[in-house]
Amino acid sequence: MESTQSTESKIIELKPFTDEMIVNMGPQHPSTHGVLRLELRLDGEIVREAIPHIGYLHRCFEKHSENLSYPQIIPFTDRMDYVAAMNQNWGFCLAVEKLMEADDEKEFAIPERAEYLRVLICELNRIASHLLSFGTYGMDIGAFTPFLYAFRDRERLLLLFEKVCGARLTYNYIRIGGVSEIIPMEPGSIDEQNFLDEIEEFLDYFEPQIDEYNDLLTSNSIFSERTMGVAVMSAEMALSYGATGPNLRGSGVDWDLRRDEPYSIYDRFEFDVPVAKDIPDLGAVVGDCWSRYKIRMDEMKESVSICRQILAEGLPDGPVMADLKAVRPPKGEIYFRSEAPRGELGFYIVSDGTPKPVRVKGRSPCFSALSALQELSQGLMVADIIAIIGSIDIVMGEVDR
Amino acid sequence: MNLEEIYQVLKDKFGDAVLALDTELFGDHCIHISPAAIADVCTFLEETDTLAFDSLMCLSGVDFSATDEEFAVVYHLYSMNHRHKVVLKTPLPKTDPHLPSVSHIWKTADWHEREAYDLYGILFEGHTDLRRLLLPDDWEGYPLRKDYQEPDFYRGMRVPY
């Protein structure tokens, strides 16, 4: 008797008589990480379809680039992913440098000191970016405290960046052929020592903090309930949608450009690439929101390790800028990708040999990852949409460019 | 496989639809493909085991100059298994730019093609949802075309600043 009752109640639950409703989420919504509008077609609380509408932050990066010289474009890349602007600068400079290197007659080498500074600063920027992602994700899900912790620590990093380039968010620090010398740091000087000491102090302080964050949020049972097993993105789906970086590794694909296609001097450092695994005890499934989030937490540790290796070696002597007379890449084109905190940041540059590019296309990792949202969110609850957006870690500046 | 080998495989399979191997420019070399055949070529590249291009890194429209009579759509493909890449380029007449969509092969092409449509007015046949992506739906013209003239007003707001 009891069993028939329970099946009957199930049938009733499966056929709720509700009309479909269209709800606009955003563009101004605290959990959309910028200005993203989602058109939700809801059946009660179940999402039948979520259509993202983007472009609210479109600032014509590509059109601007066609009318500017190469060095002038770098500040515009800052404004793509403004929470990891160092990595954006670097991605663009790498592409231009690669195209210039293709012409054997114009030989130049990026100074060692610049390479070390680039890796050091960009890894710190990766930590800052992941901290923001971690803090805001917690807040999206309903945990306010981690946000304050994350911003407290990120602030220290921003002060460090301010010391090297004078800006907190839009750095314009990495230049074509090296790094900026606006605030000179003589090799071996007291300034340099102070700067490195300060980084070391931060790393010593920060490394145990990661464990505290994990205690605070990662293993929090409310957080786990909201994220584990939600919106599972299979490896095939991630590849097909062009999801990269932590999102791809969260789907169990062992792939990191820093290791698998090493650029700059990444081949000199030892670091692990965290890849998501099923954790049956906890209930985490490869490709769910929690896995994507956890990859970022683990990556912070690896970034700390890379920074420590640089500090142990010390910065090499020498200049920080290559001897470049003019930035004028040869007639040709290049697509170069680097591992930004949010995934594979690519720049496709077409040059006609003049100081201005013919075409610059920014291949943004968030753009591709966000396009998966429509498929990921089908049949889930409205609250899960928030969990997905936070877990794929989008920055609308980069999506809209 | 390197680019020459991939070119040879494609040439044997598709004949005249594979136009040329371009090695003159500095940087990335590319294979020119006739626009009508692009979806077939991409399907072949994705499905053949020895090629296995499972990832579309980037899809971009290009307008090389205002005097040129052709656009181009450029595909940057990568194979995670074999770790090789290829660049495909399809020339399109500016008067009637259209070519088959590849969004059924790689889902990321969906938005990339919408972006190319939005900014260049290139039509992707077979795309299920070809709408403007970054610009407002009622925007006129295609801004990344080199001969684009920005409108003076958009909904009563002055556009040039």
pLDDT in tens, B31-51: 989 888 888 889 998 888 888
Mutation site for B-interface testing, chosen from A67, A368, A396, A399 by largest number of B Cβ within 10 Å: A368
pLDDT for A123 equals 92
Chain B positions touching A275 (Cβ under 8 A) are: none
pLDDT tier at A169 (50, 70, 90 boundaries)? confident
Which of B107, B133, B144 lies at the smallest CB-CB distance from A55? B133
- Residue A2 included in any domain: no
Closest-CA distance, B16 to chain A, in angstroms, reads 25
- Closest-CA residue to B108 (of B54, B63, B145, B144): B54
Domain-embedded: residue A318: yes
- Give residue A11's pLDDT band: very low, low, confident or very high (50, 70, 90): low
A54 vs B133: CB contact, 8 Å cut-off?
Answer: yes
Contacts of B30 in chain A (CB under 8 A): 333
- Domain B3-158 has what CATH class? alpha beta
Contact A343, A101 (CB under 8 A): no
Rg of chain A over all Cα atoms, to the nearest angstrom: 23
Work out the pLDDT band at A12, boundaries 50, 70, 90. low
pLDDT at residue B100 is higher than 50: yes
3-state secondary structure of A100: helix
A166 located within any domain:
yes
Q: Note whether residue A87 is domain-resident.
A: yes
Give contacts of A394 with chain B, Cβ < 8 Å. Answer: none
Tell me: pLDDT of A130 over 90.
yes
Give the pLDDT confidence of A345-367 residue by residue, as tens digits.
999 999 988 889 999 999 999 99
B63-87 per-position pLDDT tens digit: 888 788 888 999 999 998 888 889 9
Chain B residues in contact with A242 (beta carbon < 8 A): 55-57, 106-108
Please list every residue in chain B whose beta carbon sits closer than 8 Å to the beta carbon of residue A54. Answer: 133-134
- Is there a contact between B107 and A102 if contact means CB atoms under 8 Å apart? no
CA A77, CA A90: separation in Å to the nearest integer? 9
- Alpha-carbon distance of A155 to A153, in angstroms, equals 5
Q: Count of domains in chain A?
A: 1
Q: Is A371 close to B60, i.e. CB distance below 8 A?
A: no
Shortest distance, CA B132 to any CA of chain A (angstroms): 10
Q: What is the pTM of this model?
A: 0.89
**E-assigned strand segments in A97-183:** 174-175, 178-179
pLDDT at A3: 45
Mean pLDDT of A228-256: 90
Q: Which two tokens stand for residue A9?
A: 């109640």
Report percent pLDDT > 90 for chain A: 29
Chain-chain contact of B25 with A368 (C-beta, under 8 angstroms): no
**Amino acid letter for position A273:** V
Give percent above pLDDT 70 in chain B: 100
**What pLDDT band is residue A2 in, cutting at 50, 70 and 90?**
very low
* Domain span including residue A367: 16-400
Q: What residues in A contact B63, CB-CB < 8 Å?
A: 359
pLDDT of residue A9 exceeding 70, the answer is no
Pair A110, A61: CB distance under 8 Å = no
User: Considering CB atoms only, which of B26, B83, B132 is closest to A103?
Assistant: B26
Residue A31: CATH number of its domain? 1.10.645.10
| Secondary structure percentages of chain A, helix, strand, coil, to 5 | 50, 15, 35
pLDDT (0 to 100) of residue A17: 60
Q: What is the mean pLDDT of residues A314-325?
A: 84
Which residue has better confidence, A29 or A390?
Answer: A390
With a CB cutoff of 8 Å and minimum separation 6, the contacts of A325 are none
Whether the pLDDT of residue B5 is over 80: the answer is yes
Mean pLDDT of all residues belonging to chain B: 88
First to last CA, chain B: 50
In Å, how far from its chain's centre is CA A80?
A: 11
Average pLDDT of span A69-95 = 91
Has residue B103 got a pLDDT over 60?
Answer: yes
Q: Give percent above pLDDT 90 in chain B.
A: 19
As a whole number, mean pLDDT of residues A315-334 equals 84
**What is the pLDDT, as a whole number, of residue A1?**
40
Among A52, A61, A307, residue whose Cα is nearest residue B110: A52
Contacts of residue A394, Cβ cutoff 8 Å, sequence gap at least 6: A33, A34, A36, A342, A366, A369, A370
What does the domain layout of chain B look like in residue ranges? 3-158
Amino acid, res. B135 = L
**Which tens digit of pLDDT belongs to each residue from A182-240?**
777 777 778 888 888 899 999 999 999 999 899 888 888 888 888 888 888 999 999 99
pLDDT for A295: 92
Whether residue B55 and residue A242 make contact (CB cut-off 8 A), yes or no, is yes
Q: Work out the minimum CA distance from B2 to partner chain A, whole angstroms.
A: 16
Residue A21 lies in a domain: yes
From A332, A359, A401, residue closest to B25, measured CB to CB: A332
In a domain, A7, yes or no: no
Q: Is the pLDDT of residue A313 over 50?
A: yes
d(CA A298, CA A279): 15
Q: Which of A17-21, A116-120, A290-294 has the lowest mean pLDDT?
A: A17-21
Instruction: Spell out which chain B residues touch chain A, with contact meaning CB-CB distance below 8 angstroms.
Output: 25-28, 30, 54-58, 60, 62-65, 74, 76, 80, 83, 87, 106-108, 110-111, 119, 132-136, 143-144
